[in-house]
Structure 1
Amino acid sequence: MTSDSPSITPRHVFRLGAVPGATPGKWIDVWTQRMPRTPLELVPLPVAGQRQALVAGDVDAALVRLPIDKTDLHAIPLYDEVPVVVVPIDSALTVAEDLSDDDLAGEVLISAQDDVLGVRIEGTRVPDFAPPVDTASAIELVAAGIGITIVPMSLARLHHRRDVTFRPLAEGPTSTMALAWLIDATTPNVETFIGIVRGRSATSSRR
């Protein structure tokens, strides 16, 4: 390259936040192909800190779980996750393809401090110990045969262990994933990522 050749420098890094269970891989692949001069940095976020990360400008956009306080934010719902019951691999509950509230009567229902569903089922028992700090810890307790826990399917897969399995909870509350960003920070990069998530081609209009 000669001295008078134009310099090519990367544009601002696009910081994408993602809460546990989010699966942005396919969108990141498209971004990489479409925006080779703008690196994408994936920033893991706890659900409890998803809004603060956006408001503080720690990320340009984020894959979040609803509900979220939408003051000063835009949020596009993406998809709903079904809830599943995580049980020990040798549990009698595994004989069913899916489970109902009645099936869980008498079970100890463990809810982690980072629980995103807030499921309360009549007939289940409340643990006689403090809530575990996170979903991974709750699933460890399930593996030990202490009880069951109910989480979105992606979290059950994220924290998969050989000694536990899961079954869908019929008519249980879903968890909605969304793309959120600060209204006052709707940059061209944010608009590009919105287009990717919505399936727009590189040449399609943003309108």
Structure 2
Amino acid sequence: MTRTPASQPRYDGPGLRVAFVPGVTPDKWARSWRERPGRIRLQLVALDAAEAEAAVRSGEVDMALVRLPVEPTDLHLVRLYDEVPVVVVSREHPIAAYDDIALADLAAEQLVTGPPGDLVPTVDQLDFPVMSDQDAVEVAAAGTGVVVLPMSVARLHHRKDVVARPVRDLEPTTVALVWRVDRDDELTQAFVGVVRGRTPRSSRG
């Protein structure tokens, strides 16, 4: 029987359940986790953006990879990376002819999910119902409106009849790892170390 060297970390419990929202790809962190000693099970759970924070607070999952903002009360948060915002439009839309656009260029557009940032539309907005990102891209494809999304979400729902163009002066969205303050144990910190790029021998710092 192969024994685990005493220098390798061992953890009690069934492992970790980590949620992730659409567009976030946790694969590289999952691979790094599996390469660590101890063979602690990692279960990845795909959740809608509106569900992930609540799932952490309720204990349904241990941690979540989310987009900010989130309510920080009773949660630890580690910012991981920023995402470029893009506008998704029909291939026939004039915006499709540009490499990128300014936020002000959207003021006269029908905005499917509402105005981004501090943009004040210059035209009356249609009363679009609340819809998923995928449905919003379908509306853009039909030429009825445009939608601003994080680049990774636009790629997730890409269609041949739409294009995505960066909005150069719109603040990026931030992907972060969150978990409950009362779950700040050794196992949790081991996963925090993975997403921060620490190796098993690195100090927590």
TM category (shorter chain) comes to 0.7 to 0.9
Unaligned runs of 5+ in 1: none
C-alpha separation between the residues in 2 aligned to 1:50 and 1:126?
Answer: 33
Q: Secondary structure at the match of 2:59?
A: coil
Q: Secondary structure at the match of 1:180?
A: strand
Report the more deviating stretch, 58-67 or 128-137.
128-137
C-alpha separation between the residues in 2 aligned to 1:106 and 1:70?
Answer: 35
C-alpha separation between the residues in 2 aligned to 1:185 and 1:171?
Answer: 38
C-alpha separation between the residues in 2 aligned to 1:125 and 1:72?
Answer: 41
C-alpha separation between the residues in 2 aligned to 1:160 and 1:36?
Answer: 39
2:180 pairs with 1:182: yes
Amino acid aligned to 1:13: G
Question: 1:49 deviation in Å?
Answer: 2.2
Q: 1:149 aligns with which of 126, 147, 152?
A: 147
* Partner of residue 24, structure 1: 26
- Which structure 1 residue ranges, 4+ long, deviate > 4 Å from structure 2? none
* Partner of residue 110, structure 1: 112
Deviations 1:134-183 (A, max 9, x none): 11111000011111111111110111111111000021121111111111
**Aligned ranges 1:58-69 → 2 under 5 Å:** 58-69=60-71
* Partner of residue 128, structure 1: 126
In percent, how many aligned pairs have the same letter?
A: 42
Q: Secondary structure at the match of 1:194?
A: helix
Instruction: Report the CA distance shift for 1:123/1:130 in structure 2 as closer, same or farther (over 3 A).
Output: closer
Instruction: Report the CA distance shift for 1:126/1:42 in structure 2 as closer, same or farther (over 3 A).
Output: farther
C-alpha separation between the residues in 1 aligned to 2:124 and 2:35?
Answer: 49
Question: 1:120 deviation in Å?
Answer: 5.3
Amino acid aligned to 1:164: V
Report the more deviating stretch, 38-47 or 72-81.
38-47
- TM-score after normalising by structure 1: 0.86
Amino acid aligned to 1:90: E
RMSD value over aligned CA atoms? Answer: 2.3
- TM-score after normalising by structure 2: 0.86
2:44 pairs with 1:46: no
Deviations 1:87-128 (A, max 9, x none): 11222212211101333343211107xxxx844533454543
Q: How many residues are matched?
A: 197
2:91 pairs with 1:89: yes
Question: 1:36 deviation in Å?
Answer: 6.2
C-alpha separation between the residues in 2 aligned to 1:93 and 1:190?
Answer: 45
